[in-house]
Amino acid sequence: MKFLKIILLALLILGCAPIRVNYDYDRTTQFSSYKTYNYYSDMNTGLSELDTKRLLNAIDAKMTAKGFSFSDTPDFFIDIKSSEYQEAQRNTVGVGLGGGGRNAGGGISIGIPVGQANMNRQITIDFVDENKKQLFWQAVSESSFNPNATPEQREVQFNKIVEKILIAYPPKQ
């Protein structure tokens, strides 16, 4: 029973891994003039086709909830890029061996990695005004992810990421 509690606690901690988001925008932009959006047709997200679809569905739902509409003649385009990387292993167990005597000593120590390194994903979302040919808003999110997650877990994760990303759009000036 104690082992089960430890596993549940570990899953809870990993499931609540933070989603970190950094924002940047052009301060001279009149965000109130943007009402419609679309995606670049040649967009290469770096995600699988199914994950791209999940991400776009999450963005569409959140943009609709914010009062924006999808259009064939949009006010701005959305570009998405992502990359995956493995976090450096930080959990190790040190094993040391030493000896000495008569004013002389020596020793050896090694670190043995414990557990697996976390996989992280960085997603960059750019809002681009094609009429002015300029980027006017950008969000970069970083979060851990499980490459073996179920489709339902992936959908929930993308919804959380999009929620956190679009909470700051449009920026309060």
> What number is the average pLDDT over the span 77-82?
96
> What number is the average pLDDT over the span 78-95?
75
More confident residue, 102 or 148: 148
How confident is the model over 109-122, as pLDDT tens digits? Answer: 666 555 556 789 99
In the chain, domain spans: 19-86+117-173
CATH of domain 19-86+117-173: 3.30.160.670
* pLDDT exceeds 80 at position 79: yes
Report which residue type is found at 146: N
Reported as a pLDDT band with limits 50, 70 and 90, residue 8 is very low
Classify 11 in phi/psi space as left (phi over 0), alpha (psi -120 to 50) or beta: alpha
